[in-house]
Amino acid sequence: MQEFNFVMPQTLNELMIALDETGGRLVAGGTDIIPRMRRGLFSAATLVDASRIDELRFIDEQEGRIRIGALVTHQEMVNSALLKSAAPSLVQAGETVGCIQTRNRGTLGGNIANASPAADTIPPLLTLNAEVRLVHRHGERLIPLAEFLVSPGRTDLAPGELIHSVIFERLLGAWGASYLKLGKRNGMAISVVNAAVVLVLDSAGSIQDARLALGSVAPTVVRSSSAEEMLIGQEPTPKILNQAAEASAEDISPISDVRSTKEYRLHSAVVLARRVLTEAVAQAEGKLA
């Protein structure tokens, strides 16, 4: 590994100043950066460690909006009663991240900042219409997660800026949310394909809102507008769910790599889309009065 300076701020304000003045790279759990540095795939003159900033470690609800701090670990999300109630698909995604050691070190902010097309937490967050709160020593901004993701490994994060938290509205009424992941083995696998969905039913049982996201099948995780438009206003029959799943193939552009062929990803994306849609309908129908 190369030599680098290491800074460990104790407060959020100190963290923002350190990032701004050193131009360093932020590290939290280190589950991605450290392995990449060992392989010579990452370089930085200064690493700024955020792991002691308790101001970035929270899960709460304010006026119907769920907030998750950037330093919340995947295991903390899995254990959260609030998220189990308000965002079960995000909990499902957290359960699939690596092994227990990785889940106890890796953070939500790191998973988002890494901007991998195969990231586990991004598909459910996209279907929750999540926004990312970004802070800098001179201000802050709120940006939709879909706009924050630019390309593989690239985000809209500006120099000196860091992810503070992720925010989304609590779902109301009869809704369902599901996440599934396909990997090359049962545990500690990077997604070959993953899928997440949110469905909301109206009082008559028709689909009022539909949000379907697919990962590892395009340069970034993508929402399937073709499937969503087909579903809204329809009765959630197996036939329409299958048609919507098939339509999702129009919105993806999978490639072949060491983990899969593009043909297998295309087929698997449709299968996973059908399964998460079916599960979300079952959840939503169970909530109908």
Does 174-287 match 1-50+58-170 at the fold level?
A: no
pLDDT of residue 47: 87
pTM of the shown model: 0.92
- Mean pLDDT to the nearest integer, 282-287: 96
Residue bearing tokens 């593009």 = 262
Residue 154 identity: R
Assess whether pLDDT exceeds 60 at residue 185.
no
- Mean pLDDT confidence for 79-84: 98
Taking alpha carbons only, the member of 153, 145, 146 closest to residue 114 is 153
Please check whether the domain covering 174-287 is classified as CATH 3.30.390.50.
Answer: yes
Q: What is the DSSP letter of 266?
A: H
**Is 88's pLDDT higher than 80?**
yes
In the chain, what are the domain boundaries?
A: 1-50+58-170, 174-287
CA atoms within 13 A on the CB side of 126: 28
How large is the angle between the packed helices 262-287 and 238-247, nearest 10 degrees? Answer: 140
CA distances from 7 to 40, 83, 187, 255, 287 (A): 21, 32, 34, 39, 49
Q: How far is it, in rounded angstroms, from Cα 69 to Cα 75?
A: 13
Who has greater pLDDT, 238 or 259? Answer: 238
Other beta carbons within 10 Å of 118: 21
pLDDT of residue 190: 76
User: Per-residue pLDDT for 179 more than 90?
Assistant: yes
CATH class of the domain at 1-50+58-170: alpha beta
What letter does residue 157 receive in the DSSP assignment? P
Instruction: Write down the pLDDT at residue 98.
Output: 72
Share of the chain above pLDDT 90, in %: 77
Q: Could you tell me how many residues make up the chain? A: 289
What is the Cα Rg of the chain in Å? 19
Residue 196 or residue 43, greater confidence: 196
pLDDT value, residue 31: 65
**How far apart (Å, rounded) are the C-alpha atoms in residues 95 and 4?**
33
Q: What is the pLDDT of residue 105?
A: 83
Residue 241 has pLDDT above 60, yes or no: yes
Element of type H or E holding 212: strand 207-215
